[in-house]
């Protein structure tokens, strides 16, 4: 290059090169630092164990989530998105408020504040891989096609195969199927499963039952929730849920396209108690706190509140709940008002229309409530444009079946028990917390 015209330019050029080289060395040093930080969190030591416990059952090939998070190579491009989604508590999908009510749940994939901070610090430090020798062995992910409740003795399928197009919008469908049961049975275990190969498009399924008795009265209730990573419900010994002859099963399906036409015929599988056997404790699932007349959500309103109540006729152990709201649902709390007047919050949870999660209480913390307790369900709806599912914030919304109408109730699952058993259970609880 000829700098004869202008020595100054030559100097700048030369220093520029030197600076570039120095910068390169520094960058390389930085890279080396990122590979082996002194004491900071690394992928292999700190982040991978979190992903194994809380993410990989969904984020693996052939599953529902958009990308795999099995290896460093898989994870690295998503580091920032992982930090953001975990910090917002959008991932893993689990919206229980952690600072109120019952703390212990079955199959709780949620992250602790410390785990979220670890992920944040790791991304901040450049998402270093760390020492491969620190990595825990890969976890054994169950075969997607395995029934976790064992091979079912009775299977009810969607009446017809559903086709999810390559680029359809998300769809929420209610599809009814005949159980074909000719006698009443008590369910010991139940699990819902998409067809083999359909896992990527079946975002979510909730199944429920509807039957009519001889007097024309309707009954039924919530049956089971399918989400990747949930293992079906195996009820504790001596506990069962009734399904009557002639029951119709409703599959509430949430389908999402994945760029490839996919067919699905989701099934629900059952294990039963022997015919005629009535288990000691019968699990009930029912709507609690419906707000048929009181749901009143003005156009553009946020935090529109509605209340509903249900009185427990007998001593009760609550085993779990699922908020039921539609597109504008935002948050729900369930509290127990004891006959003494004492009020305790059982749970509060955010509501995300994309996920319909059942929260099952760990047995040792499942609320034990005396007869006469009032379950109080409080729902909040967001009818503003900030709710990304909201089709029309300019409309008033009330109670109704269409998903553009709304609802607020909790599916609550519980069993009743005689007074003396209630006393015994209370006693046992007190013992175990004293230990």
Q: Residue numbers of the site for ligand HEC (CB under 6 A)?
A: 54-55, 57-59, 64-66, 78, 81-82, 85-86, 91-93, 109, 111, 203, 227-229, 354
Q: Is the sign of the CA dihedral 34, 36, 37, 41 positive or negative?
A: positive
Task: Compute the distance between CA of residue 435 and CA of residue 426 in angstroms, rounded to an integer.
Answer: 14
Burial of 390 (0-12, 13-18, 19+ CB in 10 A): buried
CB atoms under 10 Å from CB of 59, counted, come to 24
Minimum CB–partner distance for residue 223 and ligand HEC (Å): 19
Q: Minimum distance from CB of 387 to ligand HEC (Å)?
A: 15
What is d(CA 250, CA 254) in angstroms, rounded to the nearest whole number? 13
Six-digit token pair at 7? 């020595």
CB of 360 to ligand HEC, least distance (A): 15
Return the number of the residue (111 or 377) whose C-beta is nearest ligand HEC.
Answer: 111
Inter-residue contact 101 to 376 (CB < 8 Å): no
Minimum CB distance to ligand HEC, residue 254 (Å) = 9
Of 54 and 239, which has the nearer Cβ to ligand HEC?
54
Cα Dmax for the chain = 106
- The CA–CA distances, whole Å, from 217 to 73, 178, 211, 220 equal 57, 18, 8, 10
For the CB of residue 69, give the shortest distance to ligand HEC in the complex, in Å. Answer: 6
Q: Cβ closer to ligand HEC: 86 or 266?
A: 86
Q: How far is the CB of 86 from ligand HEC (least distance, A)?
A: 5
Specify the residue, 256 or 317, whose C-beta has the smaller distance to ligand HEC.
256
Minimum distance of ligand HEC from residue 357's CB (angstroms):
9
Angle at the Cα of 203 (from 61 to 71), degrees rounded to 5?
Answer: 25
- In angstroms, the CA 222 to CA 218 distance is 13
Q: How far is the CB of 132 from ligand HEC (least distance, A)?
A: 21
Residue pointed to by tokens 């202008």: 6
Smallest distance from the beta carbon of 16 to ligand HEC, in angstroms?
Answer: 39
Cα–chain center distance at 350: 11
Using the minimum distance from each CB to ligand HEC, give the nearer residue, 91 or 366. Answer: 91
Shortest distance, CB of residue 296 to ligand HEC, whole angstroms?
30
Q: Which is nearer to ligand HEC, 41 or 92 (CB)?
A: 92
Q: Which is nearer to ligand HEC, 181 or 206 (CB)?
A: 206
* Contact assessment for residue 376 and residue 311, using Cβ atoms and an 8 Å cutoff: no
Residue 244's φ and ψ, nearest 5 degrees, are: -90, 155
Residue 201, CA atoms < 13 Å, CB-side half-sphere: 26
**Dist CA 71 CA 69 (whole Å):** 6
Contact (Cβ atoms closer than 8 angstroms) between residue 383 and residue 328? yes
Q: Specify whether the CB–CB gap between 287 and 377 falls below 8 A.
A: no
Q: Which of 272, 344, 284, 333 is nearest to 313 (CA)?
A: 284
**Distance separating alpha carbons of residues 33 and 25, to the nearest angstrom:** 12
82 or 312, CB closer to ligand HEC? 82
CB of 43 to ligand HEC, least distance (A): 12
Separation between Cα atoms, residue 329 and residue 352, nearest integer Å: 7
C-alpha closest to that of 390 among 316, 314, 326, 435: 326
Nearer to ligand HEC, 59 or 188 (CB): 59
Q: Which two tokens stand for residue 102?
A: 């019952």
CB of 388 or CB of 394, closer to ligand HEC: 388
CB closer to ligand HEC out of 82 and 417: 82
């Amino acid at each position: 290059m000829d700098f004869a015209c202008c020595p100054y330019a030559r100097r700048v050029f030369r220093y520029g090169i030197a600076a570039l080289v120095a910068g390169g060395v520094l960058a390389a040093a930085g890279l080396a630092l990122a590979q082996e930080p002194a004491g900071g969190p690394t992928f292999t030591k700190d982040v991978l164990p979190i992903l194994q416990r809380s993410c990989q059952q969904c984020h693996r090939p052939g599953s529902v989530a958009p990308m795999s998070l099995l290896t460093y190579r898989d994870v690295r491009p998503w580091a920032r998105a992982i930090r953001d989604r975990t910090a917002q508590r959008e991932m893993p999908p689990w919206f229980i408020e952690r600072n109120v009510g019952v703390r212990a749940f079955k199959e709780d994939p949620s992250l602790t504040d410390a785990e979220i901070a670890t992920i944040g610090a790791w991304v901040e430090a450049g998402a270093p891989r760390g020492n491969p020798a620190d990595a825990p062995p890969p976890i054994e992910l169950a075969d997607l096609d395995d029934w976790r409740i064992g091979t079912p003795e009775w299977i009810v399928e969607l009446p017809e195969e559903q086709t999810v197009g390559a680029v359809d919008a998300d769809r929420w469908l209610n599809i009814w199927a005949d159980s074909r049961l000719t006698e009443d049975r008590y369910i010991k275990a139940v699990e819902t499963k998409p067809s083999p190969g359909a896992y990527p498009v079946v975002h979510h399924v909730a199944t429920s039952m509807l039957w009519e008795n001889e007097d024309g009265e309707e009954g039924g209730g919530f049956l089971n929730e399918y989400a990747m990573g949930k293992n079906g419900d195996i009820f504790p010994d001596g506990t069962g849920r009734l399904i009557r002859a002639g029951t119709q099963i409703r599959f509430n399906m949430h389908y999402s396209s994945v760029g490839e036409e996919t067919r699905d015929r989701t099934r629900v599988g059952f294990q039963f108690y022997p015919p005629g056997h009535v288990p000691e404790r019968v699990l009930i699932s029912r709507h609690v706190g419906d707000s048929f007349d009181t749901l009143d959500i003005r156009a553009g309103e946020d935090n529109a509140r509605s209340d509903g109540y249900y009185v427990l006729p007998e001593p009760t152990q609550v085993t779990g709940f699922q908020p039921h709201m539609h597109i504008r649902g935002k948050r729900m709390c369930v509290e127990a008002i004891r006959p003494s007047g004492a009020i305790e919050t059982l749970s509060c949870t955010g509501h995300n229309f994309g996920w319909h999660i059942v929260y099952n209480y760990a047995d040792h913390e499942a609320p034990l409530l005396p007869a006469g307790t009032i379950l109080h369900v409080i729902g909040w709806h967001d009818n503003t444009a900030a709710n990304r599912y909201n089709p029309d914030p300019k409309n008033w919304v009330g109670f109704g079946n269409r998903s553009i109408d709304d609802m607020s109730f909790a599916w609550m699952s519980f069993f009743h028990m005689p007074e003396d058993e209630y006393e015994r259970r209370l006693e046992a609880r007190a013992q175990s917390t004293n230990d």
